[in-house]
Amino acid sequence: MTGTVLILGASGKIGRHASSAFNAAGWTVRPYDRQAGDMIRQAAGAQVIVNGLNPPNYHNWGELIPQITAQVIDAARSSGATVIVPGNVYVFSETAGVWSETTPHRPVSRKGHIREEMEQTYAQSGVQTILLRSGDFISGTAGDSDLMGVMHLRSLNRGVVTALGPADTMHAFGYLPDWADCAVRLAEKRAELPFWTDVCLGGANFTINELARVLSDALGRPLQVKEFGWWQLRLAAPVWEMARELMEMRYLWETPHSLDQSKLTALLPEFRNTDLRTVMCAGLTLEKMRRAA
């Protein structure tokens, strides 16, 4: 069951991957024109809206995310479209474990409370919403900015993989091509889904030590793991917004966690995650490989 999909944030990494996946599946892809505005008008005739809008670098989340959420819900109500929203793990607590749709939401950060409020707004809106949750996105596309490239591989040319916490701490990641693939598959099954579907994409849970071993094998050279000096961000926090926002999420790198995708597997038994080695190596652009060789 295909149709027309409106992609919000079509120029961002989520929007680009979603656009490519929906296009490959035979959908009519309509990028949202932010300059033209009027989301309700642009959503007319669309069966699905993918919300890839997100304030860059966590800027002014408390004000902008509720505004975006209200706009998307209004557009979905007007068009009758199903909304697909990328979820994250900020709504969970500092309790280590395997997290899933049944894990209680106990956010411990300001951003976690903002995301929890956003999720509840969608759940109570009356518009069909699919929240597809994952860990930190790995794009696998040159030019995209993600935590893997910006932080973990920032010193790869010096033979170093950077850990943001204890290197043997399990951490949930999310491979964006897999996320986009699942978004399409869930959109095509939307008639079988309830008005609120919360589902986790797992399959990309690993430690930084495991990442370093795989990258070392791929590059054919030994790599060291070094922990990031958070003191640098602490010093910059008074004058740099991004530093303050990253400091708030430090606990996620000290809390062992992974995502369970049993529910997703039940909904999409034909879906197969990209193999973990490919996911781990996705950040190895040709330029990074040349400089790290």
What pLDDT does 23 receive?
A: 98
**DSSP 3-state of 247:** helix
- Contact indicator for 195, 127 with CB cutoff of 8 Å: yes
Query: Cα separation of 259 and 250, whole Å?
Result: 18
Burial of 221 (0-12, 13-18, 19+ CB in 10 A): exposed
**Number of domains, the chain:** 1
H helices, E strands: number in the chain: 12, 13
Q: What is the pTM of this model?
A: 0.94
Amino acid making up residue 199: V
Q: How confident is the model at residue 270 (pLDDT cuts 50, 70, 90)?
A: very high
Q: Which residue has the higher pLDDT, 200 or 59?
A: 200
Give the pairing of strands 4-8 and 205-206. Answer: unpaired
21: domain CATH number is 3.40.50.720
Q: How confident is the model at residue 236 (pLDDT cuts 50, 70, 90)?
A: confident
Asked if residue 244 has pLDDT above 90, the reply is no
Strands of 171-175's sheet in order across? 136-138, 171-175, 205-206
Q: Classify each residue of 144-173 as buried b or exposed e, where b means 16 or more C-beta atoms within 10 Å of its C-beta.
A: bebbbbebbbebbeeebbbbbbebebbbbb
Q: Identify the domain containing residue 274 by its residue range.
A: 4-291
